[in-house]
Chains A and B, each alone.
Chain A
Amino acid sequence: MNAHPWRQRLYHVVLWVVAIVFFLPVLWIFLAAFKSGGELVSPNPVFLFKPTMENILRVVREPNFLDYLKMSFILSVGSVLIAIGVSFLAAYSFSRYRPTGTNFIMFLLLSTRMVPASAVVLPIFLMYNVLGWSKTFHGMILFYAMFSIPFSLWILKGFLDGVSLRYDETALVNGGSRLHTMFRVVLPQLKPGLVAAFIFNIIFVWNEFLFNYILGGKGTTMIPVLLATGVKQGGMTDWSFVASVSFIYMLPPILAIYLFQKYLLVGMTFGTVRGEV
């Protein structure tokens, strides 16, 4: 299509430059994680420096950090697994039996994800206080499961609608039970949807701050809260701490979009737009 190879090369260089420009601020923080304290807050930015592992080691040795990181992991993976489990059942029902009100329930669920976080957390906070669920592990994980359900349901239903009804018919005619049909015949066809729902829900929970800050307690705190409170506790901000924590915490999502790039579109649109980029 392109007659001039040098023009194509120039075009490719431009694309790379655009991509790198978008990444530069992140790169700057990543570099900061490997700078010594003095280099980090020098009025003349230091571009060349001897990398040090000091900051990262200090953060990892911090007693709370690993606990919080572990909690980020447990809460995001656990809640998304619960959400995908229950969403699959509902998505199967919606896709195969289309009970009355399907569209309405799907709409209500999606709209819960479109409300500002502070408006969502306010009544839950009041309710949890009365039920005694605030600061508990189950309160947190079940809340995040609810948080992940709308997106899982939308994405799984979208993919299920794409799985031919023949699978169900064949399985049922051959004497399979309904559960067998659902889990052994239809579920395996759903792998891309499951992967996309899993990865992107985990990213959303992983990055979540406000709910965890308000509803979480000592044993259920995740890293974003550590970052925010670490910054907000008066006095000077410990920038090498912030940089190292951000570095460690931002790597998994970046890695995820590298590995699962083809699900990025469906992931970022809550499963409402499908396709690859």
Chain B
Amino acid sequence: MAQTTFPAESPAAAPAIPKARRRLPFARALDESRFFPTILLGPVLVFFIVWNVVPLLWLLGVSFYRYKLTAAREPRYVGFDNFIEIWKSSEVWGLLGRTLSFMVLTVGGATLLGMVLGFLFWGSGRLPGRRLALTLLFTPMVLPPVAVGTFYRLILDPIFGIANFFSEKLVGQRYDFLGNKDLAFASTIAVDVWMWTPFMILMTLAALASVPKAELEAAEIDQIPWLKRVWYIILPNGKFILMLGILLRTIDAFKTTDLPYLMTNGGPGNTTEFVGLSLYRTGFEAFQMGDASALAIITLLVAIAFASIYLYVLSYRETRAQLK
């Protein structure tokens, strides 16, 4: 009797253990592999090596040669000559100075305006049609710089541009916004500020959102004056996000190429030619690959310096957040 009940019982207990899933052989191999984390990294590393490491070495190599793409002559090894030329050339120093003043003015302008407007939009939670309003506000920063550069030429045109229509109405004078040296530089900055102020508004809003509500309410109850609230409560909490925003803008301003290329083509003269555009011209209009590579190496170093500052701030913020 006992023998008949025993086998009857075991199937009842069995369903608790599911039948082992049949697995593909490669899946099993993966499961057992010690190198699983490395295998996952493989594709990205391949991309990184083929599109970053190899080109970088290539660039480094070419920067030691006198290499004109259109000339029939073979590239000639010249050692550090290209770098020495850049160091001695007043043009390059002028270019760097111009780029720097463009960066300072455009980032400063966008930051100031963006912070003011960001504070203004702080209480916009119950704004009717908020989503549409913010879409209109944030539109400039997602537009193709090429299109922006092009259509601002229409807006700033000396004859039929709408900017001149207003300047004539308001000041009684027409301006050649893109033809005059100083005005062209100012116009490029103005357009860049228009394009990126929304980004700083966004970052300011993010910074304000990171301020603890309790501290703000306490300040409200204690009736602390506004400036003190900004200084003692908002800035200490929001400064990291603001700094990240400013740094990202600085990096981006350093990269500016498309906008002046289309808007002023770097002119008049070279008043609106910044590092990115100059590099493009040396490489793809004059085909001086050696000079361009040396200049590219220098911009690369500057960019990496910016990137490390950015990441330093970012990781500092994260470790501080963990300590809290």
Contact = CB atoms under 8 A, between A and B. Distances in A.
B262 A111 contact: no
Counting chain A CB atoms within 10 Å of each CB, the highest count among B141, B142, B202, B279 belongs to B142
B139 A26 contact: yes
A228 interface: yes
B147 A246 contact: yes
Contacts of A85: 43
17 contacts: A14-B120, A15-B120, A45-B160, A86-B47, A89-B40, A90-B40, A90-B41, A105-B41, A116-B254, A116-B303, A119-B279, A123-B58, A126-B289, A142-B47, A177-B23, A246-B147, A277-B202
Q: Interface extent on B, as a size class?
A: 35 or more
A277 B205 contact: yes
Contacts of A177: 21, 23, 27-28, 30-31
Contacts of A178: 27, 30-31, 36
Given A114-B306, A227-B146, A257 B153 contact: no
A195 interface: no
A118 B216 CA distance: 46
Interface of B: 18, 20-21, 23, 27-28, 30-31, 36-38, 40-44, 47-48, 50-52, 54-56, 58-59, 62, 117, 120-121, 123-124, 126-129, 131-147, 150-155, 159-160, 162, 165, 194, 197-199, 202-203, 205-206, 209-210, 241, 244-245, 248, 251, 254-255, 257-258, 261-262, 275-277, 279-280, 283-284, 289, 292-293, 295-296, 299-300, 303-304, 306-308, 310-311, 314-315
B155 A25 contact: yes
B287 to A, nearest CB: 11
Contacts of B141: 268
A256 interface: yes
Given A15-B127, A29-B154, A117 B255 contact: yes
Given A19-B136, A118-B280, A246-B147, A145 B47 contact: yes
> Majority SS of interface residues in chain B?
helix
A22 B194 contact: yes
Interface stretch (A54-62, A162-170, A185-193, A203-211): A203-211
Interface residues of A, number: 100
Nearest to A230: B150
A20 B150 CA distance: 21
B151 A242 contact: yes
Given A117-B276, A254-B142, A269-B248, A20 B136 contact: yes
A216 interface: no
Contacts of B50: 146
Q: Which 4 pairs show the lowest CB-CB distances between chains A and B? A: A123-B55, A111-B307, A97-B37, A93-B40
